Structure 1
């Protein structure tokens, strides 16, 4: 049975197979929509899905869905999810034989992976050594370059700290400064004027130390208006590696993704094969185990360079699942159970087009500022080809304790135009009241002619600030909305519904 072929996702047969795995309970060491996503597959396999949660997440979808939920604590809510010892203790308490870390938090922490495996628990992810190699951008870049894969011209501080500034200057402008241990765009700085190089290096070093406890840097040639393309890979750690096609992730704000899609509108079939095989080759060169993503910068002339490898499941993995029918969490669990990939690259097929839009609690018009508030009303979109991955419930609350992403809207269409049309309809139907979200902004974004044409790059939103700006409403519309809002409040309704004293004194008299 080829378990990577959509038609063969025979869940009764898979449950029989999973019953023979070395674990029957999986602890999800995460929260929000990714915890819900992992629990869904765990339970479809007939396994028990356990969950750790902080009190701030008590009234969330994941806690209600888990077969067993174990409360953990910390100085902050985030701190609780970063407490590896507490999470492993919870796993032991509920008899979990495997821990799925989701993404973020401890998903790419070598020490946590080692501690999990030392406790006799399966880590649903790569080996500690692979996490460490690819988690350090400098080491990863050096490894990839030595293996013969394309990297951008660069200067690495570790090679010779005393000459780092001069070597960076020789790479030429524009330059991109990056922390060696960085992620999420933090500490990254673009330098177009080399006279500012030393000052920008010091700023980047300070940010790297503050965010990651590591001030080491490297500089690489900055490709103006590049595209960001990543490739999903799967490896069983026993010699087999396949790619599951690419994802376009170019629409970003503050170096963080907002919209992802597959296939990329920038790639012809020959270039698609080249970039996907390069990613698979990189994963193959380290004997990669489990799911991972190899990311590339793609230049306007079709050149591409290795950017980094994420040794975990990605936020945007659903678009890959939508066009292939492959359940990537299922594959992660199979590999963690010791099974091999029983397929070849030719067995993996893609159909149609899929787009993911990240629903954030934020105000795009105010610099993408995070917002907070209660979830008063929540009506997700429905329909053929529409998927809603969400971790919040009506009656819950969006706080400042965590990342502002609250849901993901994923659509699948026959082609890109169909997918865009479905995305717009689904966004229009999405109702989430209580805190401001970016759904109206996303509708403006996907309606922009350049996006419709597939002509985007990582600086697209900076180049088109009008997309984030809210359109000005006519004065009469504003007045009507204010009147409706006023009349919907309790004090105004009480006044409107009250009977004047003079009329009330008349009792039931009528003429």
Structure 2
């Protein structure tokens, strides 16, 4: 087992990883930008190193500074968390070349599956169902427009290196295509430094279901069930839950496909296979070669600490469980709490937290990095934390989440707590009648209009 790990991230996921390391008896090194010097992860780690300025490019994306910090502090491994460098093949390879273990898959696998267009090609070759679209990347606007006609409108224009809903636009007609393509391409270049694009048929209002994969170095690959991530706004997930409301037959077929996809590329460590579900049909859309924001709901229903498993796998340990050992117990829901103002088109709302009160109790968890007196920075993602609950049934989990959000207090900054509460109170959500079109359909009532 490792003696010391550097966490190459910030915010709640950095806190989450540090806590897992402490429970394993591993020392931790936090990195931080100048803007994050008072963040919680810097205070609970054993050591903390400033790696640059406020901009991500100066700090959390600065590979050389991060590697230098790991070497100078004697860290044997680096955990990248999610976002930033977590799906950067060059960073993974750079760690390994410097004698530092990267807690995740090998760089070559990240390159294969982290590139959405290339992953699509691999899945087609291996027989995993994919959404109709381009066979791989498109090289020009003219080629893309020609392919779009064959695919049929509406089409989804996606960045090969994308994630988090960035570098993605829908063109409903040919007249919209040029602007949508150039906008997505520009956004991808700014966000990921890579403007390679590909196309998919836009499946109108499907369910977004993803399977959690975990695999060791010895060929053992297991899925930990699925999560429903359909409650989204502009391709950004808002509420996730596990398990999803799909049939046992569909769960079996999708789980088998997820394992097949992982084994095709000899995947190691934790990863997520994402699917679109339309009726009884499902289509691979991408693989996330990292831990996911919504991993806690899977932990709640399986009892498996995925972060600890990641560390153990990288340390050379085999999986301590098989597929037959995985049983989904009860139901779990996660709500993302963001510093934003839903009534002002979800404008980010940085500022100082005057008071924080977090409910607690059996089956209630709050993964966060905020505290009373902490100032939310304008430089990074607006997510302040995640509320996760577990209940014996889905209805019990919904009621527990409503009670928890009702008691949660984060004063001083605008946030989406009430917006999420209204989703949980919506009759269609409670009945399970929802897909990726849920928030657009009910947006006015969720925000509070037209009654206010």
Q: Same fold (TM over 0.5)?
A: yes
Per-residue deviation, 1:293: 0.4
Name 2:242's counterpart in structure 1: 262
Name 1:351's counterpart in structure 2: 329
Per-residue deviation, 1:455: 1.3
- Do the aligned partners of residues 371 and 75 (structure 1) sit closer, same or farther apart at CA in structure 2, a change above 3 Å counting? closer
Name 1:127's counterpart in structure 2: 106
1:290 paired with 2:259, answer: no
What SS does structure 1 have at the residue aligned with 2:59? helix
Partner residue of 1:86 out of 54, 61, 65: 65
Q: Deviations over 1:366-411 (max 9, x none)?
A: 1111101111100101111100111111111012111000010000
- The 8 Å contact of residues 56 and 77 in structure 1, kept in 2 or not, is answered as no
Name 1:280's counterpart in structure 2: 259
Name 2:90's counterpart in structure 1: 111
Q: Deviations over 1:75-129 (max 9, x none)?
A: 6256311111111111112211111111111111111111111111111000000
- Do the aligned partners of residues 31 and 170 (structure 1) sit closer, same or farther apart at CA in structure 2, a change above 3 Å counting? same
1:329 paired with 2:321, answer: no
Partner residue of 2:124 out of 141, 145, 163: 145
Q: Deviations over 1:4-33 (max 9, x none)?
A: xxxxxxxxxxxxxxxxx2x20111111111
1:36 paired with 2:15, answer: yes
1:165 paired with 2:145, answer: yes
Partner residue of 2:433 out of 455, 463, 467: 455
1:386 paired with 2:364, answer: yes
What SS does structure 1 have at the residue aligned with 2:122? helix
What SS does structure 2 have at the residue aligned with 1:200? helix
Name 1:498's counterpart in structure 2: none
1:416-455 alignment to 2 at 5 Å?
416-455=394-433
Partner residue of 1:319 out of 297, 314, 335: 297
- The 8 Å contact of residues 33 and 391 in structure 1, kept in 2 or not, is answered as yes
Per-residue deviation, 1:274: 1.0
What SS does structure 2 have at the residue aligned with 1:231? strand
1:130-209 alignment to 2 at 5 Å?
130-156=109-135, 158=137, 161=140, 163-209=143-189
Structure 2 CA distance for aligned equivalents of residues 130 and 92 of structure 1: 25
1:367 paired with 2:345, answer: yes
- The 8 Å contact of residues 238 and 287 in structure 1, kept in 2 or not, is answered as no
Structure 2 CA distance for aligned equivalents of residues 129 and 284 of structure 1: 14
Per-residue deviation, 1:200: 3.0
Structure 1 CA distance for aligned equivalents of residues 61 and 76 of structure 2: 20
Structure 2 CA distance for aligned equivalents of residues 203 and 351 of structure 1: 43
- The 8 Å contact of residues 138 and 198 in structure 2, kept in 1 or not, is answered as no
Structure 2 CA distance for aligned equivalents of residues 374 and 444 of structure 1: 25
| Further displaced range: 124-133 or 190-199 | 190-199
Please state which structure has a larger fraction of its residues in strand: 2
Per-residue deviation, 1:37: 0.7
1:246 paired with 2:226, answer: yes
Name 1:406's counterpart in structure 2: 384
| Further displaced range: 396-405 or 152-161 | 152-161
Structure 2 CA distance for aligned equivalents of residues 214 and 54 of structure 1: 24
Structure 1 CA distance for aligned equivalents of residues 451 and 139 of structure 2: 57
Structure 1 CA distance for aligned equivalents of residues 241 and 147 of structure 2: 37
| Further displaced range: 374-383 or 156-165 | 156-165
Structure 2 CA distance for aligned equivalents of residues 310 and 256 of structure 1: 15
Which runs of at least 4 in structure 1 moved beyond 6 Å after TM superposition?
none
- Do the aligned partners of residues 473 and 185 (structure 1) sit closer, same or farther apart at CA in structure 2, a change above 3 Å counting? closer
Per-residue deviation, 1:156: 4.6
- Do the aligned partners of residues 52 and 196 (structure 1) sit closer, same or farther apart at CA in structure 2, a change above 3 Å counting? closer
1:236 paired with 2:222, answer: no
Per-residue deviation, 1:167: 2.2
Structure 1 CA distance for aligned equivalents of residues 451 and 442 of structure 2: 20
Structure 2 unaligned regions, length at least 5: none
Q: Deviations over 1:127-167 (max 9, x none)?
A: 00011011111100000110010011112574675643222
Structure 2 CA distance for aligned equivalents of residues 427 and 109 of structure 1: 35
Structure 1 CA distance for aligned equivalents of residues 182 and 32 of structure 2: 38
Q: Deviations over 1:238-277 (max 9, x none)?
A: 2111000000000111111010000112x01111111111
- The 8 Å contact of residues 445 and 467 in structure 1, kept in 2 or not, is answered as no
What SS does structure 2 have at the residue aligned with 1:219? strand
